[in-house]
Amino acid sequence: MRKRVLILMFALAVILGSNAAVFGTVGAVSSSDDSNYITAFTISGQIDETVIEANTIALTMPSDTDLSSLTPAITHTGASINPASGVAQNFTGPVTYTVTALNGNTRSYTVTVSLQPICTGSSGCNAGAGNITFSVLALVVVFLTNRLPGIRKKK
């Protein structure tokens, strides 16, 4: 009986071992994997969230940031990325990152880092925002005045 169990276990091991070449090993990524996406791109100190759309990436840094040497942390689905994550780059202009999938397919992303505008005085970044708020409030008052009974103008 014990001999039969050992023979059965040996046969099962041989069958499973030979099928591993056909079905692949459990948890392994197939060499035909064509995944090559950047899923996250951050730089320490950035303002707001990174925007990743199609093959472009955009983010904003504080206005006093030196763009000539920034080190991004990048998460991707490919086998490799060039330039590599964690390597300082000059972002004074757009930088192209290329993700290579396991099957060799590549996808390029253009990364643009901009500086937050400097807002000062009455001509600052939100200049005129108060006027917009006032205009919307005025429209609401006019609308309500024409709708509420007892507030209508007499003819």
CATH at residue 50? 2.60.40.2340
pTM: 0.59
Q: Is residue 123 part of a domain?
A: no
**Which H or E element spans position 73?**
strand 72-76
pLDDT at position 154 is: 56
Per-residue pLDDT at 48 exceeds 50: yes
What confidence score (pLDDT) does residue 119 get? Answer: 77
- Smallest Cα–Cα separation from 118: which of 71, 60, 33, 73? 60
pLDDT tens column, 109-150: 999 999 999 876 655 565 445 544 444 444 444 445 555 565
Whether residue 92 lies inside any domain: the answer is: yes
Determine, yes or no, domain membership for 74.
yes
Q: How many independent structural domains does the chain possess? A: 1
User: Which stretch of DSSP H or E encloses residue 39?
Assistant: strand 38-43
For residue 106, being part of any structural domain is answered with: yes
Q: Quick check: 38 pLDDT over 80?
A: yes
Write the pLDDT tens digit of every residue in 3-34.
Answer: 554 454 444 444 444 443 333 333 334 444 89
33 by DSSP, 3-state: which?
Answer: coil
Q: Is residue 95 part of a domain?
A: yes
Does 63 fall in a domain? yes
Distance CA 4, CA 31 (A): 39
In a domain, 7, yes or no: no
- For the segment 100-105, the average pLDDT, to the nearest whole number, is 95
Flag whether 109 is in a domain.
yes
54-102 pLDDT, tens digit each: 999 999 999 999 999 999 999 999 999 999 999 999 999 999 999 999 9
**Structural domain of 95:** 38-115
42 to 62, 69, 95, 109, 149: CA distances (angstroms)? 14, 14, 14, 14, 56
